[in-house]
Amino acid sequence: MTLSDLVPPDSLAADGQFSAMQDAAAEMRAAHDATVLVPLSHLSRLRVDGDDAQDFLHNLLTQDVKGLATDAVRFAGFCSPKGRLLAAFTMWREGSATVLQLPAALAEPMRKKLSMYVLRAKATVVDVSADRPALGLAGKDARAALQAAGLPLPAAPMTQASADDVHVLQLAGDRFEIVLPAGRLAALWPALAAHATPAGSPAWRWFDIRDGFASVWPQTQEEFVPQMVNFELTGGVNFKKGCYPGQEIVARMQYLGKLKRRMYRAQADGDVVPPGTPVYGSDTNDQACGVVVDAVPGTDGGTDLLVVVQMSSVEAGAVRLGSASGTTLRFVELPYPLAG
């Protein structure tokens, strides 16, 4: 069995996303009020292994790869020389290897780009998504569902636990990801589905928005320095490690610069817009003051979003979606305090 076998026929997009298992609105309500189980077909996993793999990644990413504990889960960015994010990863260890998870739409371009840096290093970068699929389990009964299925339980958010080649990542108090051999998928899916509502990709992305975790999509590559998407607040940047592409710019922004744009959580009436859609402030008139980072249908109608916005525009008044006369955004608190 593969993840695509779990998805309704003809509903899987080229980037691995699908809108719903059955009833999109009911699934989004279940994400808010109950527990959902999502085939994470829109995410891919790159496995980096070899004698020099840790040093190789440590010199490229915003995160301390060499210091990554075996039970840790961390965010990491890969920047251009100008300090702009080319990709945002969720990162963890699997044995001797480091796994980098990112949207499937960017997996092959990033695999090729990372491989260009290997040169003489003893390291390989392989897409293992088909061999090691992932399921997302989130909501109030998620931990109980894991226990009922006999899966290992992580100790705390942003840690992992493993047993029998199955890795369970805890991303928040009520949110888990299960990465497993493809041969185990057929048995595990029904065991978890007995305790959760099967749901489409937007349900999992809604938890990213709720938790303030930024993704970089093809439409938003090179749009953000890490601090714009709150990476220093969610642990995606380590300022004590050595150099990496764009490090000087990222460090200068942290210690000497003045951050002008931040990522906010927001809601809006109307249909979902794609990442990269511009937003406009009452103080900027026809000039865009930011862009959409991610957006999905709201759990109670409308749209839930993460947006990077000029902080002065948030303070000045209305921020509108798509045009200077577009729908007004309603800002919602993130689960962590904004700084700067």
Q: Which structural domains are found in the chain, ordered by start?
A: 1-259 (3.30.1360.120), 260-333 (2.40.30.110)
> Tokens 């808010």 sit at which residue?
32
For the stretch 91-117, pLDDT in tens is 999 999 999 999 999 999 999 999 999
Phi, psi of 193 (to 5 degrees): -65, -20
Q: Which tens digit of pLDDT belongs to each residue from 277-291?
A: 999 999 988 899 999
Confidence of residue 119 (pLDDT cuts 50, 70, 90): confident
What is the side-by-side order of every strand in the sheet holding 303-310?
Answer: 327-328, 319-321, 278-281, 288-297, 303-310, 261-268, 330-332
Binning pLDDT at 50, 70 and 90, where does residue 275 land? very high
Q: Which of 19-33, 215-229, 250-264, 293-307 has the lowest mean pLDDT?
A: 250-264
Q: Would you list the DSSP string of 279-294?
A: EEETTTTTSEEEEEEE
Average pLDDT, integer, range 243-248? 94
Indicate the DSSP class of residue 141: T
Query: Does 89 score more than 60 pLDDT?
Result: yes
Percent over 70 (pLDDT), the chain: 100
Q: What are phi and psi of 318, to 5 degrees?
A: -65, 135
State residue 296's pLDDT score.
Answer: 98
Distance CA 33, CA 299 (A): 9
Q: How confident is the model at residue 151 (pLDDT cuts 50, 70, 90)?
A: very high
At residue 258, the pLDDT reads 84
Pairing of strands 85-94, 159-163: unpaired
pLDDT on residue 340: 55
Task: Kindly report, residue by residue over 125-145, the tens digit of the pLDDT.
Answer: 999 999 999 999 999 999 999
- State the Cα–Cα distance between residues 156 and 177, nearest whole angstrom: 13
**Residue 173 zone, left/alpha/beta (φ > 0; ψ -120 to 50; rest):** alpha
Rounded CA-CA distance 197/26 in Å is 9
Per-residue model confidence (pLDDT) at position 336:
96
Whole-number pLDDT of residue 100: 98
SS3 content of the chain, % helix, strand, coil (to 5): 25, 30, 45
Residue type, 184: R
From CA 11, how far away is CA 190, in angstroms rounded? 21
Q: What DSSP letter does each residue of 287-337 carry, written as one string?
A: SEEEEEEEEEE-BTBSEEEEEEEEHHHHHHS-EEESSTTSEEPEEE--SS-
Distance between CA atoms of residues 111 and 221, nearest Å: 15
Pairing state of beta strands 288-297 and 330-332?
Answer: unpaired
* pLDDT score, position 120: 86
Comparing CA positions, the residue from 340, 333, 197 lying closest to residue 258 is 340
Label residue 249 by pLDDT band (50, 70, 90): very high
pLDDT exceeds cutoff 80 at 339:
no
Mean pLDDT of the chain: 96
How many residues does the structure list for the chain?
A: 340
Task: Indicate the helix (H) or strand (E) that contains 250.
Answer: helix 247-255
6 closest CA partner among 192, 160, 140? 192
Please report, as a single letter, which amino acid is at residue 312.
S
pTM over 0.85: yes
Mean pLDDT confidence for 311-324: 93
Question: Tokens in use for 338?
Answer: 């904004």
Q: Which residue has the tokens 């919602």?
A: 332
What confidence score (pLDDT) does residue 292 get? 98
Beta bridge pairs of residue 35: 139
pLDDT in tens, 324-335: 999 999 999 999
Distance of alpha carbon 26 from the chain centroid: 23
